[in-house]
Amino acid sequence: MREIGHFIGGKHVRGTSGRKADVFEPMTGDVIATVDLATKAELRAAVENAKAAQPAWGATNPQRRARVLMKFLELVQRDYDALAELLAREHGKTIPDAKGDIQRGLEVVEFSLGIPHLMKGEYTEGAGPGIDIYSMRQPLGVVAGITPFNFPAMIPMWKFGPAIAAGNAFILKPSERDPGVPMRLAELMIEAGLPAGILNVVNGDKDVVDAIIDDPDVKAIGFVGSSPIAEYIYGRGCANGKRVQAFGGAKNHMIIMPDADMNQVADALIGAGYGSAGERCMAISVAVPVGEDTANRLVEALVPRVEALKIGPSTDVNADFGPLVTREALNRVKSYVEAGVSEGAKLLVDGRNFTMQGYENGFYMGGCLFDHVTTDMRIYKEEIFGPVLSIVRAKDYQEALRLPTEHEYGNGVAIYTRDGDAARDFAAKVDVGMVGVNVPIPVPIAYYTFGGWKRSGFGDLNQHGADGIRFYTKTKTVTSRWPSGIKDGADFVIPTMG
């Protein structure tokens, strides 16, 4: 059985706390590894290591920093299949889905190769008599990322790619449920030429999260996870004077207008709602057909598709989705389905009793489909994070627009229609951070920013794109005047450029 420690100063180190967590293989239910849970002292050792290494890395010109990331991209491509297999074994998603997880992370690293341009400041000659003004972007120093189990490759790369490109040293605290891929990514960064200490991986639970939040040398924290924890990290981190971006839960709606192509809608909902067993912050979990006829046609198209979903082990490349990440996650999702039934929603497809032949101890669940869900039900209000789709019938477009706008989460939303005016109006008015028009999962490409609104996101700057660079840098503005333009005598009037 593998024993996973920490990665500090460019090498593996064993934990000293004596506390460990089991790492499961969700498709079998077996424990396949243990991971050490760090102490505050071990986190501090990683921070000191990073703090010592960062000045030289920050002084390295941005082209050379970009070359390290370029080599890293080459090495990940070399090991793509092995990384995807490891990711699938620890998380439970299928290997094709695991490859998508890796690819989405690589795209942000590719964007970060433009760091020589992205770090450029501004310059104004002659802003005043003999006065020039210019700005420069500089790294923050030591920064950290606390990343979730559901994207163990993508989100770590979303965090450390821009941060390291900008000249920072990075502390990564990945999920203890599937730590293997983040550790392997750190090894590949060292192989690519990253100096030891610039990327450290510290495994742990709430103890190490609190240590990161409270450490005075950690200048910024990027987090992705549940909304209560996002709010906790944001509040405590800001109180400690840190820059924080914290992304939380979601309840993503898809609005289906009467003119939409129903086959296209049903296929989009099946992929967006049930892919990765629903363990995505961008999963569509609420379908909102406009009008009773639209709703009835949607149900007719969806039910046979949900019943035909192919659930399989992570190694089955033909499976639509695999198991959930842990037995606790499986039981939690089943409890939501039970709550929906007890609150009066109509369960059209019940996947709770699904078992996988030969994998009876795995954490499997079939797809569930609810109809006649109302806004006062828990299955509507709360994030389920499982293969459960709810249909909320809207009588008209205005009601459909209000549902995602008034929900406490504001991560992603989609509208399916052939009407350009309706789509344009919806995109302009809906109170949600990311909008898809005939696109079910509106994750922006790497040079746009990713981030939700309301309780889906805390902080002023989003992930990746230009915001990713802004978050991990600080701007310094220099106003200069040389002696030939300076008159004798004190000036007691506030400086102006006139």
Distance CA 298, CA 268 (A): 12
- In a 3-state reduction of DSSP, which class is residue 376? coil
Q: Which residues 6+ apart lie within 8 Å of 306 measured at CB? A: 270, 274, 348, 349, 351, 367, 368, 369, 389
Distance CA 287, CA 159 (A): 31
Query: Which tokens is 304 given?
Result: 């046979």
Write the burial class of residue 434 (CB in 10 Å: 0-12 exposed, 13-18 middle, 19+ buried): buried
Burial 108-147 (b: 16+ CB within 10 A, else e): bbebbbebeebbeeeeeeeeeeebebeeebebbbbbbbbb
Torsion over CA: 155, 156, 157, 160 (sign)? positive
Query: 391 has which bridge partners?
Result: 287
Q: Transcribe 447-469 into DSSP letters.
A: TS-B--EETTEESS--BSHHHHH
- Residue ranges of alpha helices (H) inside 410-486 are 420-429, 465-471
Distance CA 145, CA 185 (A): 14
Lateral strand order in the sheet of 6-8:
11-13, 6-8, 199-201, 169-173, 142-146, 218-224, 243-247, 457-458
Please state the length of the chain: 498
Burial 354-375 (b: 16+ CB within 10 A, else e): eebeebeebbbbbbbbbbbbee
Question: Tokens 């296929």 correspond to what residue?
Answer: 267
Local structure of residue 375 (DSSP, 8 states): T
Is 250 in contact with 456 (CB distance < 8 Å)? yes
Active-site residue, selected from the candidate residues 21, 47, 269, 281:
281
Q: Is 281 a catalytic residue?
A: yes
Query: 436 has which bridge partners?
Result: 414
Give the distance between the most distant pair of CA atoms in the chain.
Answer: 90
Is 268 in contact with 437 (CB distance < 8 Å)? no
Distance CA 301, CA 303 (A): 6
Among all residues, which ones are annotated catalytic? 281
